[in-house]
Amino acid sequence: MAHLDRRLFLRSAGLAAAEVFGGKLHLLAAGAPGQGKSFGPNDQIQIALIGAGGQGQGDTHWAVQVPGVKLVAVADCYDGRLQHCKETWGQDIFTTRDYREILSRKDVDAVIIATPDHWHKQAAIDAMNAGKDVYCEKPMIHLYSDGHAMIDCAQKTGRIIQIGSQRVSSVVYAKAKELLAAGAIGKLNMVNACWDRSTAMGAWSYTVPLDANPETCDWPRFLGTAPKIPYNAERFFQWRKWKDYGTGVAGDLFVHLFSGTHFITGSHGPTRGMATGGLRYWKDGRDVDDVMLALFDYPEGFNLNLRVNLISGGQENEAFLFTGEEGTMEISKGALTVTRSPRPKDPGYTVGTFTNAMQKSLLDAHTAKFPIEHPSGEPSASTEKYTTPNGYSDSYDHFHNFFDSVRSRKPVVEDAVFGLRAAGAALLSTESIERGSVVHWDPEKMILAKT
């Protein structure tokens, strides 16, 4: 028995040793290639913003830092945001409530679409038909029927369309993709990902400005194809809480986790999904859930397990854990940690309940067949961490990649097919909760499949 105890002790000592001695830290090189190039006034890409709220203004902040990119126009349905765009980017910016006035301008080459989800399809199709390239925010679709219309329009018009899941351009995700393909964690069998939040802002209860009223907010234009109801400031400024305009937890947050999973694994998507959840805390009139858990089967032989909890009680946490047969990769707080734990060749044994003579015979035979390969008794795990320099922004890199494609006409990093595969898979969760059943999906044709 002393022999068994010693082996157990050495196994745990081996893990501790790996933690102390195995860790290596790497700083990933930042910046998309071609950074620092300069462009003459005739060589500028002139852009316009459609939907100048939180994300639209944030996107534009990064977009105009890409060399050779200039903002010339902005469309939004709330006057205060149009005025703020002038305060930020200059009084000479053309502003309008009607984005069609932007699309008819010859000096606009490309548009950023950062409207609520229910406008993505129409604004993107109108922009491509007007000859503009498009950066369209995630989730690409509000309804399943939006997706193929957008893909078909991009093909018909030959315009570039990139979807705005910025992590697809992240150097951290690129490293994870490279390491997974190189076999760093062996064959992948499980992906766990979560996004937990605990604040009112995290649960989309955004501030309504004091001057919001039907004069300053173009309510009919905001509604678009949504059901016609009287002006409602909460719906205008906190639209994510209602299915008429948004896609709930699935389209807002799961979609980022799908984009990351698909980019890193190279998969086209799951074949079926099932979800549960509910509205547990934020009972403020919204018709979407604040907790959602979902499971997906991937044809490559791994499962994806997702969680969003808007009432988590802890700090905001967005994280991935990729588990393979020989290790794990974790992405959390913008860093990637890879732990390689080669599977032991020694299968171990359970002999303690047998006669002493039998234990001895079995142990002798075992030691003869599996001599202790490592002094610690376990192949040692090694850990490496990859981080980015201070100030690194995947949003900047995503725009850099987009504008590279606008110039070169080469494919974007995240086209409409990728966008539909991510958003279509994400919306399976809502579909599953509504139907109370498993939902099947064809990731190649990007359609809901018959059971």
- By CB under 6 A, tell whether 209 contacts ligand NAD: no
- SS3 of residue 10 by DSSP: helix
- By CB under 6 A, tell whether 173 contacts ligand NAD: no
- By CB under 6 A, tell whether 424 contacts ligand NAD: no
Q: Which residue lies nearer to ligand NAD by CB, 248 or 324?
A: 248
267: which DSSP letter?
-
Q: How far apart are CA 447 and CA 451, in angstroms?
A: 12
- By CB under 6 A, tell whether 419 contacts ligand NAD: no
Residue 345 CB, nearest distance to ligand NAD (Å)? 45
Q: Report the run of H or E that residue 5 belongs to, with start and end.
A: helix 2-21
Residue 411 CB, nearest distance to ligand NAD (Å)? 20
Of 47, 116, 320, 416, the one binding ligand NAD by CB under 6 A: 116
Structure tokens at 247: 């896609």
- By CB under 6 A, tell whether 202 contacts ligand NAD: no
Under rule CB under 6 A, which residues in 125-144 are in contact with ligand NAD?
137-138
Residue 74 CB, nearest distance to ligand NAD (Å)? 9
Q: Is 177 within 8 Å of 264 (Cβ atoms)?
A: yes
- By CB under 6 A, tell whether 401 contacts ligand NAD: no
- By CB under 6 A, tell whether 430 contacts ligand NAD: no
Q: Is 188 within 8 Å of 322 (Cβ atoms)?
A: yes
Structure tokens at 38: 């300069």
User: H/E/C letters for each residue in 77-114?
Assistant: CEHHHHHHHHHHHCCCCEEECCHHHHHCCCCCCEEEEC
- By CB under 6 A, tell whether 257 contacts ligand NAD: no
* Residue 124 CB contacts under 8 Å (≥ 6 apart), including other chains: 113, 134, 136, 150, 153, 161
Q: Label residue 422 exposed, middle or buried (CB < 10 Å: 0-12, 13-18, 19+).
A: buried
Under rule CB under 6 A, which residues in 35-64 are in contact with ligand NAD?
50-56
User: Amino acid identity of 315?
Assistant: Q
Of 127, 154, 163, 164, the one binding ligand NAD by CB under 6 A: 164
Q: Is 64 within 8 Å of 122 (Cβ atoms)?
A: no
x-marked contacts with ligand NAD along 232-251 as a string, rule CB under 6 A: -------x------------
User: H/E/C letters for each residue in 115-179?
Assistant: CCHHHHHHHHHHHHHCCCEEEECCCCCCCHHHHHHHHHHHHHHCCCEEECCHHHHCHHHHHHHHH
- By CB under 6 A, tell whether 76 contacts ligand NAD: yes
- Segment contacting ligand NAD by CB under 6 A, of 109-117, 181-189, 326-334, 379-387: 109-117
Residue 239 CB, nearest distance to ligand NAD (Å)? 6
- Segment contacting ligand NAD by CB under 6 A, of 32-40, 184-192, 220-228, 301-309: 220-228
Q: How far apart are CA 98 and CA 93, in angstroms?
A: 15
Of 62, 89, 99, 402, the one binding ligand NAD by CB under 6 A: 99
Q: Which residue lies nearer to ligand NAD by CB, 54 or 299?
A: 54
Q: How far apart are CA 11 and CA 85, in angstroms?
A: 61
- By CB under 6 A, tell whether 254 contacts ligand NAD: no
- By CB under 6 A, tell whether 78 contacts ligand NAD: yes
228: which DSSP letter?
-
- Segment contacting ligand NAD by CB under 6 A, of 76-84, 336-344, 355-363, 373-381: 76-84
The count of chain residues that interact with ligand NAD, using the rule CB under 6 A, is: 27
**Binding interface with ligand NAD (CB under 6 A):** 50-56, 75-78, 81, 99, 114-117, 119, 137-138, 164, 166, 221-222, 224, 239, 252
